[in-house]
Amino acid sequence: MTKHQALYVLRGPSGSGKSVLALSLQLQNRDIKIVEADMYFTSEGVYNFDASQLGEAHKWCFETARDFLERGFSVAVANCNYQLKHFKLYLELAEKMDIPVFVLLVEGNFRDQQDDSLNKAPHDVVARQKRLWEPYAW
């Protein structure tokens, strides 16, 4: 573990500001790498979501985060993480690597203020995320 290495797990429904918070963390510490499943669906600045690839996107996200952690970087995982099963692997990885974890709840409501070119989950998806939300306490 590097001197200040950490894993930040950002939790919140789509449009809550997870990506903005991750960028803010990165501005404060350039050794923080941001990973999001949405990055899997972005090519040359164009977001093209495909629900059938969501499992692969999350696998890519975890493997990318693990690679950054193994290389000594801190990582901010900015996925919805609304259920423990969504981020449990990250917690286990950090524990195994003796890296401190900060689970941050993001509760902004920026969904309707987003530019149309950005990821904008439908209202029913956000409602489902909120309905299935599991509190987390360590």
Task: Kindly list the distances between the CA atom of residue 82 and the CA atoms of 91, 106, 125, in Å, as whole numbers in the listed order.
Answer: 14, 11, 12
> Contact 9/91 with Cβ under 8 angstroms?
yes
Q: Is residue 137 part of a domain?
A: no
In 3D space, the residue among 21, 55, 22 whose CA is nearest the CA of residue 37 turns out to be 55
Domains identified in the chain, total number: 1
pLDDT digits (tens, 9 = 90+) for 46-85: 989 898 999 999 999 999 999 999 999 999 999 887 778 8
* CATH code of 23's domain: 3.40.50.300
**In the predicted model, is pLDDT for residue 3 greater than 70?**
no
Task: Kindly list the distances between the CA atom of residue 37 and the CA atoms of 1, 48, 80, 81, 137, in Å, as whole numbers in the listed order.
Answer: 25, 12, 9, 11, 24
- pLDDT greater at residue 3 or residue 98: 98
Q: Is residue 28 part of a domain?
A: yes
